Structures are given as structure tokens and as C-alpha cells.
Amino acid sequence: MAVGPQALEATGLSRPGRLSRLHEWLQQEHVFGYALILPALLLLTCLVAYPFGMAIYFSLSDYWVGSPGEFVGLQNFRDILGNEVFRRTVYNSFVFTAIAVTLKTLLGLWLAMLLFRSLRFKRLVRGAVLLPWVIPTALSTLGWWWMFDSLYSVVNWSAIRLNLIDPPGPNWLGVTSYAMAAVIAVNVWRGLPFFAIIVLAGLVSISREYYEAAEVDGAGSWARFRHVTLPLLKPVLAVVILFSTIFTFSDFNIVYVLTRGGPVNTTHLFATLAYQVGLNGGNLGQGAAISLFLFPMLAAVVFVQLRWIRRE
């Protein structure tokens, strides 16, 4: 028995036609482009924009765990600016970032130059170099925490056996200067492979013709590095320094596992102090205010570095 178009539409059998029209609509360039970026927008909204908005709301209110609190304006920011621990945290963050990024830049460039040379088992060596960066941060930092232990320190034992220090050796995690040196050393150890591999990728992309031309002109190894390698690596170095600065400035795991901000709150960074005040202490308002101080400082650093990248 023949069935008419109206009967097909009434029974819903015309759905293939609707699906084809929907497919054609999605194939349009502007629609397809928005459809591709929609998952990223959803992730940014749920994981970045919403938490950022909640942090602003908490920072402007007297919000404690279990207590909604009331709107207090900028009182939380005034309170933490008058807090000596917070001022020490600002100083620690800049010192920690400046020293760690400088060491990672120098050592990463040196390591990349070594990996760029012809070596036996080159691929195996490059894979081994990546291990500190691949291993979970908390797991590797626990190993360093044991190595810096005041009673069973492998670092002290090795240095004493090599006659570098006198027994019993320094208390690495119990003295302020030593504790800061320890967290910087672990951060450099962990971030160095990322820096070296990115710089190595930049070295591989440099054409050999530039070095041959420099050799013809009589340039030595240092002159080739200064006048050929460094200028051509500047864009790569600028990008990797930018990312390294962001990651170092907002570091949390290394400091929290090794010292938890101690001794006596002298190695805190923004993230660890915000965690201690906001979650451990229950004062979500001040914790959010501390974490928000990280945003304008990072924005200023990123702005300066991006301007330098554009100029280069």
C-alpha cells in the first residue's frame, strides 16, 4: 500500500531529510568553526572562568568554611597587605622565580647544546633527560624530601664523603636559607628537561649553512654560538622563558611537599600561602585574596615578555 508524504511526515519517517539538512548546516564554514571551538570554550568556562569568578566573590566577602559571610569590599586585601608573612611571600616568589628561571635558562641551554652533539645512544640519553619532567611532581619531590632529611640526608652524606662540608652537614629543610636553596634546586632539576628539549628543537631547526658560512669567515666555536646560534634561538628562548616563568611563579607541589612553607613561614609562595590560609585555616576570603594577587603580577610579567617577543 502506497504511503503519501504527509503520512511519512506524520510518522516521523522524514528524519533522514532533516538530518541531511542539519549536516549541511554544520558543514558551513562559520558554523563548523564555532562548533570546533565550543568544547574549548566550555572547558575554559567551567575550569577557568567560573573558579576565577568565585575567587573574586570570596575575596570581597568575609567567607569562612561553613559560613557564607558578608560583603566586606577590599578589607581582605588590606588585611593581607598588612601581614608580614604575606610581604615575605611576595619577596620569596620573586626571588624563587628569578633564580630558578635564570638557572634553568643557563643550564637548559648548555644541556641542549650537549644533546645536539653526536653522541652514542643519543635517543636513549634524550629519553633519560626527560625523566625528571615526566615523573609525577609529588612523587619525585618526596624522593628529594628524603634526600634532604636532617638525619638520613643523602646529600649531606655524599658531600661529607667528598670532603665538601664538615659533619653533620646543614639542616636543609630546617634553616631558612638552606630551605629556599633546596626548593630552588628541586624546581630547577624538574624544569630543566622541559627547557632543554624545547631549546634542542630550536637548535635542530637551524640550517647548517649558517655555521658553514661562519666557519668560512674564520669564526670559532664561541663566535658561532654568539653570532649564529643565540640570535636564531631568541624566539624559542623567549617563548620557553615565558612559560617557565609562569610555571615557576605559580609553583605549589614542590614547596608544599618539601617545607609546607616553613621553617616558620619563610619559604611560602603565593599558592602555598593561599592554600594554608584558605583551606587549612578555613578563611576562604583571605585565601582567595592572596591567590588573586598572583594574577596581576603574572599578567605584568607576561605583558613585558610578550612585548619583547613581538619586538624580536
| pLDDT at residue 25, rounded to an integer | 67
- For the segment 273-312, what is each residue's pLDDT rounded down to a tens digit? 999 998 888 888 888 898 888 888 788 877 887 787 777 6
| pLDDT at residue 102, rounded to an integer | 93
Classify each residue of 16-50 as buried b or exposed e, where b means 16 or more C-beta atoms within 10 Å of its C-beta: eeeeeeeeeeeeeeeeeeeeeeeeeeeeeeeeeee
Q: How far apart are CA 25 and CA 48, in angstroms?
A: 31
- For the segment 171-225, what is each residue's pLDDT rounded down to a tens digit? 888 888 899 999 999 999 999 988 888 888 888 888 888 887 888 878 788 888 8
Average pLDDT, integer, range 117-126: 78
Q: For the beta carbon of residue 259, count every other beta carbon within 10 angstroms.
A: 24
Q: Mean pLDDT, the chain, as a whole number?
A: 83
Average pLDDT, integer, range 70-93: 88
Q: Is the pLDDT of residue 73 over 50?
A: yes
pLDDT grade, residue 15 (50/70/90)? low
User: Which CATH fold would you assign to the domain 84-311?
Assistant: MetI-like fold (1.10.3720)
Kindly list the domain boundaries of the chain, sorted by start residue. 14-59, 84-311
Q: Is the pLDDT of residue 114 over 60?
A: yes
Distant-in-sequence, close-in-space partners of 72: CB < 8 Å, separation ≥ 6: 60, 61, 62, 285
